[in-house]
Structure 1
Amino acid sequence: MARYKHYDYNQTKMIPLRFADQIQPGTFEYTLSHVVDNDLDLTPFESRYCNDYNGAPAYDPAILLKIVLFAYSRGITSSRKIAQACRENVLFMALSADSQPHHSTIADFVSRMEDVIAPLFTQVLMVCDGMGLIGREMFAIDGCKLPSNASKEWSGTRAELTRKQHKIDGAVERMLATHQAQDQQLEPEVQQKQVQQIEKLERVSAKIKKHLATEPERLGRRGKPIKSNITDPDSAKMKTAKGVIQGYNGIAAVDSKHQVIVHAQAYGAGQEQHTLSPMLFGIRRQFRALPESDPFILRKARITADSGFHSEANMKLIYRLGIDGYIADNQFRKRDPRFIDSTTYNQQQAKRRKERGSQFKRFTPADFDYDPVSQSCRCPAGKPMWLSLKGPVAGREVNRFQGYRKQCRVCPLKARCLRNPNQQEGRQVSFYPNDKQAKASYIDKMKEKIDSPMGRHLYSERLGTVEPVFGNINTNKGLKRFTLRGEDKVNAQWLMYCLVHNIEKIATQG
């Protein structure tokens, strides 16, 4: 018969544990503890407490900051899981000196970080600069779109939400009438389910009514109404490679030497054109606060950004400020001979268009009957089109017309007119009345600059500078979504993750 070693679950073993010995030099937690204790000014936290003479002692902000940032480095954002780790994980015990704060204390500390996180980020940046981790030669700007703590199903313009609320109220009235008519015929379980469904719809309707009564109409950059979210009005719907999300866009400016984040900001908008200006001035503000102040940093360093930041206004800003910028447009790779055989764009669509074009030639703007005097246009089928845009675009005056949906969908010539015969929108066609007198725009100047051999070489460095930073924050640090609501609080959470990234650079490169 086999024999096994004896074991006893009732035995006791005393393990001596010194918390200071658990935080070993060369590790992230050691660097985090050292930076918080020696390099950060935590006096702004003191204004939160009024217990000098009365009240219970509070947890030291240094302890709370250490465990929160260390939890973020391990991909833990839940305050309950952080509190659990302080009771079960030796490293969390060592950083917190076994103080074991309650999860509500941690949640309150994190949700109020928006007032103090910016100075802390600047102070950590000072440490990075003092160690020579910032090269000041090139800054790459890019955005990372992440879901927020809100569902996109609760999004809509004021008109869309009003229609949704009326639709729900109508459904409730019909369900109530049906329920009253069949009240004596249905079984108790079915009646209870109907009542629960009616109560649920009434709560949804009340939530929409409250939002419409308290929140103003959200307007876009051009003053037109855009979709707002009932749960988190500051968040926005935005397109990503994985589909449409309800979230925020975390923008970061990264130094090329050791990939240190020099400035960061979260925005509740998917479009990035309007974020370039505040990011540039944010970089300048950060370097003015460093010990070796450099107010002309934007003129000395190169700035690179992808096509999301490309616009006529931004190119004009770059040239007016004297910045050596390299910002690609969305046709940059198609003009690059190195990518002539690239498969990054949809080749199947291009192949279908080519096959369709071999059978019959697609209509060009010359085939449309455009009258510049009356500002009207008719399509090759003789149908009138409506003027969808009139004004300057990229420095050129344009009159853009679009066909009506109901006419384009049934038009016998749509195979020669539309790029995709099954598309929902009508054909668009643009005319440029002053094209002959148009001068070279700032966009044309940037195209000429970035298409040069040196421009292509410098722009190629952007990918290896900023993308690994987002990969580290998303994959290694586990930031898959923002857990807070409101742009200020989400921005604080984004800055805390950027803070963790920079402290890790101090640990590994400093």
Structure 2
Amino acid sequence: MPRFKPYDTRQNLLLPINLAEQLVPGSFEYTLNYLVDHEIDTSIFHDHYHNDETGRLAYDPAMLLKVVLFAYSRGITSSRRIEKACRENVVFMALSADSQPHFTTIADFISRMYKPVGQLFIQVLMICDQLGLIGKDMFAIDGRKMSSNASKEWSGTHSELKGKKKKLEKAVSRLLKRHREHDAHEQVNPQHQRDDEQRIETLKKASRRIKTFLKEQPERTNKRNQPLKGNVTDPDSAKMKTAKGVIQGYCGVAAVDSKHQVIMHGEAYGHGAEQSTLIPTVKAIDAQCRWLGHSDIFKTARITADSGFHSRENLEALTRLNVDAYIADNQYRQRDPDFDQAGRYRVQHKKERAALARQRGKTVATGRFTTRDFRFDTRTMTCTCPAGKPMWLSSAKAMIGGKPAYQFCGYVHHCRDCPMKAQCLRRLDQKRPRSVAFFYKEVVDQQKPDVLQIMKDKIDSPAGKRIYSKRLAVAEPPFAHMQAMGLSELTLRGRPKVNGQWQLMCALHNLKKIHGFGGEKLQQRMEKVQKHG
């Protein structure tokens, strides 16, 4: 018969526990505890408290900050889960001194952190600079789209939301009509009646929410004066396209230093377009460096960003600011021979479509010439096709998409017998010749020093390619780091609070960098504190 060690769950144990000893030297929680206690000024959180003479004693914001930052580092953003961890997890107990704060206290602290979190971010950044973690040679700017605490089902233009409100009101009318019919025929089921009453109250509440939103929130429009969709739950958020579909959320933009991927600046925006965020981010980098005591940082530092930030307005603004920038356009990879095989699967798909079309008795052309392949002389107002044949000016005042343009057309006999028509015409049996249009604005811009062409030449040069190739290794790791920590969604509502939460995530990333790369300087600081008690 097998024998086992005896065990009894009813026995009493006396375990002497020192909470400080649960924070193991070399661990992130040990570094976090030291930094909050000795390097970070937590008095920035004191403005909220007004219990100097009367009122109940409050939890120390330093303790709450430790708990929240450590919880975020473990991917725990729910205040209820943080409260549970403070009761059950020994590390959380050590950081909180076994205070066991209620989840409402934690939630309140997180929701109002957006005011002082900017100062917290700067303090962490200053520690990074003191430890030599910031190189200030190159800054990569990129954005990350994150889901917000709002459903995209409650998004729409004012016109769409008015239609949704009418549908809700019709649904309420149908339920009330059914009630009256059942009462008239004395077919009342108490359970069904309670369910219908609850459903009616839910629909009325939703209708009131939409009505309040339409009354209080003016309709937003884009540059073309077209209405933009708003969200009833979080009006500051927006619908955004991502690789995994459409989300309701914010775009968190970060400027990252190239030495150790320390985030120099972070800000959340309630729109998916990144172009408008570039110049404010560049100015914020300059302001942060001035805080650190480094003026005129862009005399030596460079800026890199992907095609999402590329626009004529941005390039002109960077030229005025004398910033050495490397920003790719959306045709950059197509011009780069290193990526000549990047679209091989897409090309195969086009070939398959062409083969299918030929089977159906049609002949299609693939790889058509674009407007850039046609030479337009603005002085003589003449145009030459890729085959070197002249084209005639069919209209000097053509309107295409509401924009004025010069339109040129090829000669029928040139196009019919041209050996390059497979790359020019939509179909090889097409009878109409090729036409091409040049918009007025593009013609005017050609006569000026073109910042777009200057940037293309700059980024296509061997030196430009080497510099821009570093962007991916600088900008993306912080986002991957946040994803690995479990910080994939935003839990607050409203741009001010969401911006504070995004900056808190960026500060946490930088704290991790301090822990990982602080080295001997950080160790010396810790030993000095231990030596002096």
| Bigger Cα displacement from structure 2, 211-220 vs 8-17 | 211-220
TM-superposition CA deviations, 1:126-159 (whole Å, max 9, x none): 1111111001111111011110000000001111
| Alignment partner, residue 454 of structure 2 | 445
Q: Mind listing any 5+ residue stretches in structure 2 that lack a counterpart? A: 372-384, 386-390, 408-424, 428-434, 519-533
| Bigger Cα displacement from structure 2, 344-353 vs 252-261 | 344-353
TM-superposition CA deviations, 1:16-65 (whole Å, max 9, x none): 21111122222211211121122222222222222122112111111111
CA distance in 2, matches of 1:80, 1:252: 29
Q: Per the alignment, do residues 430 and 35 of structure 1 end up closer, same or farther by CA in structure 2, a change over 3 Å counting? A: farther
TM-superposition CA deviations, 1:321-356 (whole Å, max 9, x none): 111111111111111001101248744543356545
CA distance in 2, matches of 1:135, 1:354: 52
| Alignment partner, residue 506 of structure 2 | 498
CA distance in 1, matches of 2:176, 2:40: 61
Does residue 227 of structure 2 align to residue 218 of structure 1?
no
Does residue 480 of structure 2 align to residue 471 of structure 1?
yes
Alignment of 1:62-461 (within 5 A): 62-183=62-183, 184=185, 188=189, 189-290=191-292, 293-343=293-343, 346-347=346-347, 349-352=349-352, 354-355=354-355, 356=357, 359-361=363-365, 371-373=395-397, 375-376=398-399, 388-390=401-403, 431-433=438-440, 438-439=446-447, 440-461=449-470
Please tell me the residue identity of whatever aligns with 1:80: R
Please tell me the residue identity of whatever aligns with 1:87: R
Q: Secondary structure at the match of 2:470?
A: helix
Please tell me the residue identity of whatever aligns with 1:360: V
How far did residue 297 of structure 1 move?
A: 0.9
Please tell me the residue identity of whatever aligns with 2:363: Q
Q: Per the alignment, do residues 306 and 83 of structure 1 end up closer, same or farther by CA in structure 2, a change over 3 Å counting? A: same
* Kept in 2: contact 1:280–1:298 (CA 8 A): no
How far did residue 192 of structure 1 move?
A: 4.4
Please tell me the residue identity of whatever aligns with 2:468: Y
Q: Per the alignment, do residues 370 and 229 of structure 1 end up closer, same or farther by CA in structure 2, a change over 3 Å counting? A: farther
TM-superposition CA deviations, 1:206-258 (whole Å, max 9, x none): 21111111222223355432111000001000000000000011111111111
Q: Secondary structure at the match of 1:86?
A: helix
CA distance in 2, matches of 1:314, 1:456: 20
How far did residue 104 of structure 1 move?
A: 0.9
CA distance in 1, matches of 2:349, 2:16: 68
Q: Secondary structure at the match of 1:81?
A: helix
CA distance in 1, matches of 2:291, 2:22: 35
What is the aligned-residue RMSD (CA, Å)? 2.8
How far did residue 180 of structure 1 move?
A: 2.8
How far did residue 14 of structure 1 move?
A: 1.9
Q: Under a length normalisation based on structure 2, what TM-score does the superposition of the two structures give?
A: 0.81
How far did residue 371 of structure 1 move?
A: 4.4
CA distance in 1, matches of 2:325, 2:161: 42
CA distance in 1, matches of 2:116, 2:341: 50
* Kept in 2: contact 1:40–1:124 (CA 8 A): yes
TM-superposition CA deviations, 1:263-283 (whole Å, max 9, x none): 110111101000001100110
Does residue 35 of structure 2 align to residue 2 of structure 1?
no
CA distance in 1, matches of 2:247, 2:456: 32
How far did residue 75 of structure 1 move?
A: 0.5
How far did residue 174 of structure 1 move?
A: 3.5
Q: Per the alignment, do residues 53 and 333 of structure 1 end up closer, same or farther by CA in structure 2, a change over 3 Å counting? A: same
| Alignment partner, residue 384 of structure 1 | none
* Kept in 2: contact 1:83–1:100 (CA 8 A): yes
Please tell me the residue identity of whatever aligns with 2:241: K
| Bigger Cα displacement from structure 2, 17-26 vs 255-264 | 17-26
Q: Per the alignment, do residues 345 and 155 of structure 1 end up closer, same or farther by CA in structure 2, a change over 3 Å counting? A: farther
* Kept in 1: contact 2:395–2:406 (CA 8 A): no
TM-superposition CA deviations, 1:108-140 (whole Å, max 9, x none): 111111110111111111111111100111111
Does residue 49 of structure 2 align to residue 49 of structure 1?
yes
Q: Secondary structure at the match of 2:401?
A: strand
How far did residue 317 of structure 1 move?
A: 1.4
CA distance in 2, matches of 1:434, 1:22: 67
* Kept in 1: contact 2:307–2:327 (CA 8 A): yes
TM-superposition CA deviations, 1:447-503 (whole Å, max 9, x none): 11111111111111111112111011012x111110000111111111111111111
How far did residue 168 of structure 1 move?
A: 2.3
CA distance in 1, matches of 2:129, 2:163: 55
Please tell me the residue identity of whatever aligns with 1:339: F
How far did residue 389 of structure 1 move?
A: 3.6
| Bigger Cα displacement from structure 2, 30-39 vs 138-147 | 30-39
Q: Per the alignment, do residues 347 and 150 of structure 1 end up closer, same or farther by CA in structure 2, a change over 3 Å counting? A: farther
CA distance in 1, matches of 2:441, 2:65: 60
Q: Secondary structure at the match of 2:52?
A: coil
Q: Under a length normalisation based on structure 1, what TM-score does the superposition of the two structures give?
A: 0.85
Please tell me the residue identity of whatever aligns with 1:220: N
